[in-house]
A and B are shown apart, each in its own frame.
Chain A
Amino acid sequence: MNRLERDLSESLKRREPPPGFAERVLAHTFASEKPGFSGWQWLAVAALLVVMVGGVAFVREHRRQAEAERNKQQLMVALQITSSKLNRVQERLSVIQQRIIELRLEQ
């Protein structure tokens, strides 16, 4: 048996584990196991959902308000055009009325 064989034999010799080794390994194994969602994690998920739902609602409301504002502007434009035309009609009627009065006075 040469020196290398002796070293190998010595290294591979069966040895008893130190006291408490099995308990420590088991304890470490259980500690590293991932449990289900903790309370905080559930809270985070709930918060995320609230933010998402709130975000969608906010965007919808924003769109609704923008559309309402656009409708308002359109209504104002429509009424202003109508006002312009009616004022023009009234001006013309006033001129006609004035002419009639003048004609009557001439007669």
Chain B
Amino acid sequence: MRKLIFTILMAAAPMASAQQLDLKVLDKIAEKATSTTEIGMDEAMLKSTSSLLNDKKVEEGVAKKTVEGLKGFFLRSYEFKKGDFKVDEIKPLMDQLKAPNWVRFLRNKEDGEWTEIWWHVTNGAYDGMLLVAAENSELTVINALGISKPEDLAKLKDLGGLDAKK
């Protein structure tokens, strides 16, 4: 089977301290993935990248508005051969959410798909979000730092996901 590996790894050391979660616990799962996408951007990188986005292009304009105020964006997305991944394997990640500053916003389990959205709270205010979407052959974890309200992400609807591009 053709193994597709698409990995974007950026200098992680300075970012690790800024993260609200240790996503390195997913490294073991990543080893058996057939497709890997890992993106990590700290505030400085987001700001410098945001300045390159062209407002006149619809998608870039949406992206620019979305990243305004973000303090970090960390994404890990993996695809597996069927049966190679079990949801239980992300327990080390989910255990981190037992900390009192994490609040679950949504949990949905349906048709073998499992989705959770959590908010990170500091001094009574939201300042981060975690989205976990898992199924038998796919896992996506997104940690966005600096998001203060769910509406901040609503802008992304206009972006048209990767599915829309297929």
Classify the secondary structure of A's interface with B: helix
21 example contacts (A-B, Cβ-Cβ < 8 A) are as follows A68-B48, A68-B49, A72-B49, A74-B8, A74-B10, A75-B41, A75-B49, A77-B37, A77-B162, A79-B62, A79-B63, A80-B159, A82-B142, A82-B161, A83-B156, A83-B160, A84-B163, A87-B157, A88-B115, A89-B106, A92-B110
Assuming the A-B contacts A71-B48, A75-B41, are A85 and B133 also in contact, with contact meaning beta carbons closer than 8 angstroms in the complex? yes
Q: In the complex, what's the smallest C-beta–C-beta distance from A94 to chain B, in angstroms?
A: 12
Are B159 and A83 interface neighbours, CB within 8 A? yes
Q: Scan B1-40; emit 1 where CB is below 8 A from any A CB, else 0.
A: 0000000101000000000000000000000000001010
Which of B41, B49, B110, B140 is the one whose CB lies under 8 Å from A85?
B140
Are A89 and B115 interface neighbours, CB within 8 A? yes
Size class of the contact patch on chain A: 20 to 34
Are A83 and B77 interface neighbours, CB within 8 A? no
Q: Which residues of B contact A77 (CB under 8 A)?
A: 8, 37, 39, 162
Assuming the A-B contacts A87-B161, A89-B106, are A78 and B49 also in contact, with contact meaning beta carbons closer than 8 angstroms in the complex? no
User: Which of the 9-residue segments B52-60, B88-96, B119-127 touches chain A?
Assistant: B52-60
Most A-side CB within 10 Å, residue of B45, B157, B162: B162
Are B41 and A71 interface neighbours, CB within 8 A? yes
Q: Which residues of A contact B73 (CB under 8 A)?
A: 75, 78
User: Is A90 part of the binding interface, using a Cβ–Cβ cutoff of 8 Å?
Assistant: yes
User: Is B97 part of the binding interface, using a Cβ–Cβ cutoff of 8 Å?
Assistant: no
- Given contacts A80-B159, A89-B131, list 12 more A-B pairs with CB under 8 A: A74-B10, A74-B39, A75-B39, A75-B73, A77-B37, A77-B39, A78-B41, A78-B75, A83-B161, A87-B161, A89-B115, A93-B106
B111-158 with Cβ < 8 A to chain A: 115, 117, 131, 133, 140, 142, 144, 153, 156-157
Q: Which residues of A contact B (CB under 8 A)?
A: 68-69, 71-72, 74-90, 92-93, 96
